[in-house]
Structure 1
Amino acid sequence: MDQFDKVLAKWEPTALSLFRFITGLLLFQYGVAKIFKFPVLPYFANIPPLITTAGALELVLGALLMIGLFTRITAFILSGEMAFAYFIGHMFKDPAKPVFLPLLNGGTAAILFCFACLYLSTAGGGPISVDAMRKK
């Protein structure tokens, strides 16, 4: 097993950069859908100002995450936004009857994004990022 770990360990920095890029890309697509209404999704037809603000954050910060610029602070802000999105938009959608289980309230993606971004805020952007290029 040690040999297997050694083989995979050399790819860990590259995998971190890929993980950062894909996380940013997925958040970016939510921002595009909320701000530019593309693609047309029925649940983003008439969105309130709070969700428009979330879309702007996802659009701009998702793009920064994709290129790896200011990764730690960007990911930290996005992690907080996703936690906020889970509690406000999913768990307490109906304040009289909160639903905690993500499988029932549709908050699975928000939780995954929250913890993915929390990890990126501690791990950084990896070697393939603007942050890494700025350090050189």
Structure 2
Amino acid sequence: MDRVPVLAKWQPEILSLVRIATALIYFEFATAKLFGFPYVEMLASVEPFTLFWYAAIIELIGSPLLLVGLFTGPVALILSGEMAFAYFLIHGPQDFFPIRNGGIEAALFCFIFFYIAAAGPGAWSLDRLIMRRRSH
């Protein structure tokens, strides 16, 4: 058995929940970097027009789009690339293992976004609503 049968029928809805929860959590990184909320000491001193600031802008725009499921594939692919870039630029050079280099979040976000880019937005999304309206 490769899937839990009772959950398999809910796969499109569960995919939407994963997309929504991931977008909400990711949005916190943008607001912490740009607005200091929630306050995280290591993210509180992001200088404007630096690499971290540009990353925060991508996160600030991409997270709400992902949250509502609009342009889901391209947005998720961009966010996945951002996290791969962050991992290999910031975390990877420190140590091979994510648990030791502080890159757990970057690695997980990268692969979650990559999966969403391939799997689509799920049942609850503006992308799906727009597709339905166009087909009618």
Calculate the TM-score normalised by the size of structure 1. Answer: 0.89
Q: What SS is found at the alignment partner of 2:67?
A: helix
The count of corresponding residues between Structure 1 and Structure 2 is 130
Deviations 1:37-96 (A, max 9, x none): 11222101322411011111111101100000000000000000000010111122xxxx
Q: Does 1:126 align with 2:122?
A: yes
Distance in 2 separating the partners of 1:45 and 1:134:
38
Distance in 1 separating the partners of 2:16 and 2:109:
16
- The gaps in structure 2 that reach 5 residues or longer are none
* Identity within the alignment, %: 46
Preserved CA contact (<8 Å) 2:32 2:44: no
What amino acid is aligned across from residue 109 of structure 1 in structure 2? E
Distance in 2 separating the partners of 1:9 and 1:62:
27
Q: What SS is found at the alignment partner of 2:95?
A: coil
Q: What SS is found at the alignment partner of 2:123?
A: coil
For 2:18, the equivalent position in structure 1 comes to: 19
What amino acid is aligned across from residue 54 of structure 1 in structure 2? A
For 1:95, the equivalent position in structure 2 comes to: none
- The gaps in structure 1 that reach 5 residues or longer are 93-97
Match of 1:114 among 107, 110, 116: 110
Q: Does 1:101 align with 2:102?
A: no
What amino acid is aligned across from residue 107 of structure 1 in structure 2? G
